[in-house]
Structure 1
């Protein structure tokens, strides 16, 4: 069932500048909007809300729903394909679908393999998807990093250790997949940012912090990243917490360049939201009042 804003909260869509640290409020909404994607042609942001996909025009700041058919209600995991003509979408039935960006009939690409599939990455050549697989939809079990052909077919599990992983996203050159994982943590919920080669080798821890670090997103030029810090001891990625959106150089993940404090978490930064020129990115906050 689609989520709704908690009582007394509002939804705000923000654009933050990598170079200056300034931010701009571009939309306030009574709809629980989540997980912005930035269109490759710079024209719009795509977000989910009320079970559907929404397009936020960057010129007019107008919000309109993308007409989709043949797909259940959406969750907050969706990624634009290279070229921005299609979008891959995770739905509440645990499957991943593909649809034209302007809307229309959606096509399921995942198999009925007994798992829930949560999309996070599309390879730069558009041929492969990276998702989190949860066996039998049992969230007491750790999520697994799985890759699969973008057109459909069986998945290949990549070993990231015994802990839960989430947010797998391809680097712009395609060699690495970035993710958050609890495999390096010292206590329950202690997620840290890591990366692994797309062939499954070279698992490497990147952040070493006392916070729970989630959803690493690499800028299109590969030089910077944004991610989400939850308070220490946070298990999963719940909503409506005091969190921080952080930017770093991909050469130094443990020195923050800018930090924005807000109320959010779930929905704030689930998917890559960098602008095509790597100078800005979008996020969503859910303040009280």
Structure 2
């Protein structure tokens, strides 16, 4: 009997594990309201894509029928994903999107961020169990069968729906107070055919559930939240999570050859295969207080890092270089604080940000074989940061807030010819130039932060901007992150991917 009991327990546990893996980040799926036709939710772990199939007469009036993939969530959260219907559809009122629900019974309180088959995109809700659904606050119409980015945020009793076409910033389309929604509720993806006899289908990807912290949260005092390492195809905007941790890690670089990533965590560097796996420590001599400023020379032979030396000004951040193949790190900047940011294409010079006699941070250049540091900016007010060479060596790109907002600038390698190249309401940081020199990726912080700061844990954007043709920046990722997300050069050698860190 003990053997039979063990086998029964083993098979039950195995079945539960298989179900969990089949649902990705969700714990359960069900047909709510007993739909006439059976639905399903399938998860492709390779592409991290969900395929929803479901029927149901509607999600409306005082009861619902639909297919639901969900997990139990407590407190505040942000739900974000790309949605696309598959096939022409039999009813233009078919629905998919995000739903937060008090329970799985058909009459439950819920609020939904909904995309319809005819392009109608709205926030809709049932304020009390068994009550009739309420009319939406606002309505937007997208092109039929277009891809939509839909975000639903919970902040206390307030729910906020935002939408966008891929490439555009999210726009708020509805805000609703729902005091009746319990603090612990269900959150997930849904599909409804609006026809009890028909099963409709939708595809959902870049699915993220983030747990935001308070606006005044101080990570250094209150602790760091979870981290994800992501790799994204810049050209089709598909993101994949390859590593997660309950602690803090930051700032990935691609290693030469593009098969591994390099990132920092707890004062050390680690490598990990781009498809995921177990991180392995990458030793930098005896340096064990590294920060998130590290990167590899253009020829792939040298590594530069910033390391904190105890008891020195500004935390003692100092730039070192060493052979990537291994060796003893060589101290470059005796003065502190100094934060590395870029290699010159000649592999003989580095550029970094340093705090010296002017009272503010400026950009400096130094030969890796020694010599005096050369100031490239001499500001006495404001803040500059993030210098990075273009691959052809003609410009150094950087961010500066000399006009009030933090914007991207560029200058010639001797510091002359400074020109501003972004002009918008965001605070734009850390320009990273593609290997062919034609594109720039940057992180854009919201307008309401200090322009001289790049804080943790904000709703930020990664944006792509052409450098050799005229064109405005376009959004390539909607991220909960900030500090440590994309501080260092992060393009793959073939110019197809970038790597970054998000938080949740």
Greater Rg over alpha carbons, structure:
2
Q: Which residue in the other structure is 1:150 paired with?
A: 368
Q: Deviations over 1:13-60 (max 9, x none)?
A: 111112111111111123411111111211211111100011112255
CA distance in 2, matches of 1:83, 1:6: 41
Match of 2:447 among 218, 232, 238: 232
Q: Select 1:181's aligned residue among 400, 403, 408.
A: 400
Tell me how far apart the structure 1 counterparts of residues 289 and 487 of structure 2 sit (CA, whole Å): 17
User: Match for residue 265 of structure 1?
Assistant: 482
Q: In the alignment, what sits opposite 1:135?
A: 356
CA distance in 1, matches of 2:256, 2:457: 30
Task: Identify which range, 48-57 or 155-164, moves more after superposition.
Answer: 155-164
Who is 2:257 aligned against? 41
Match of 1:95 among 299, 310, 318: 318
CA contact (8 A) 2:440 2:465 kept: yes
1:113-152 CA-partner distances (Å, limit 9, x unpaired): 4x3111001001101110001127x9xx321011110222
- Secondary structure of 1:105's counterpart equals coil
Whole-angstrom CA distance in 2 between matches of 1:147 and 1:7:
35
Q: Please give the residue correspondences for 1:210-225 in structure 2 after superposition, counting only pairs within 5 Å.
A: 210-225=425-440
CA contact (8 A) 1:243 1:261 kept: yes
Offset at 1:82?
2.3
- 1:274 is the counterpart of 2:491: yes
Partner SS, residue 260 of structure 1: strand
Deviation at 1:8, TM superposition (A): 7.6
Unaligned runs of 5+ in 1: none
Query: Is the aligned partner of 1:22 residue 2:275?
Result: no
Deviation at 1:7, TM superposition (A): 5.0
Q: Pick one of 192, 203, 209 that aligns with 2:418.
A: 203
Q: Could you tell me how far 1:67 is from its partner in structure 2?
A: 2.1
**Unaligned stretches of 5+ in structure 2?**
1-218, 310-316
SS of match in other structure, 1:69 = coil
Secondary structure of 1:227's counterpart equals: strand
Note closer, same or farther for the CA distance 1:128–1:104 as it changes in structure 2 (3 Å cut). closer
CA deviation string 1:181-221 (max 9, x = no partner):
01122xxxx21000000021110001101111100000000
Runs of 4+ in structure 1 off by over 6 angstroms are: 3-6
2-structure distance, mates of 1:72, 1:105? 13
Higher helix share: 2
Give me the whole-angstrom Cα distance separating, in 2, the residues matched to 1:148 and 1:118: 12
CA distance in 2: counterparts of 1:41 and 1:27, whole angstroms: 20
Q: Cα 1:22–1:92, aligned 2, differ >3 Å: closer, same or farther? A: same
RMSD between superposed Cα atoms in Å: 2.2
> For the structure 1 residues 240 and 35, does the alpha-carbon distance in structure 2 shift closer, same or farther, using more than 3 Å as the test?
same
Q: Which has the higher contact order (CA 8 A, sep 6+)?
A: 1
Task: Please report the TM-score for the alignment, with normalisation by the length of structure 1.
Answer: 0.89
Describe the shift of the 1:149–1:204 C-alpha distance in structure 2 as closer, same or farther (beyond 3 A): same
**Distance between the aligned counterparts of 1:164 and 1:245, measured in 2?**
21
- The 1:5/1:22 distance shift into structure 2, 3 A limit, reads farther
CA distance in 2, matches of 1:225, 1:149: 25
Aligned to 2:129: none
Aligned partners of 1:160 and 1:203 also within 8 Å: no
Per the alignment, residue 330 of structure 2 pairs with 107
- 1:257 & 1:210 partners in 2: Cα distance? 14
- Give, in whole Å, the separation in 2 of the partners of 1:36 and 1:216: 14
CA separation of 1:242 and 1:19: change in aligned 2, threshold 3 A: same
Q: After TM superposition, give the deviation of residue 159 of structure 1 in Å.
A: 2.6
8 Å contact 2:291–2:308 — kept in the other structure? yes
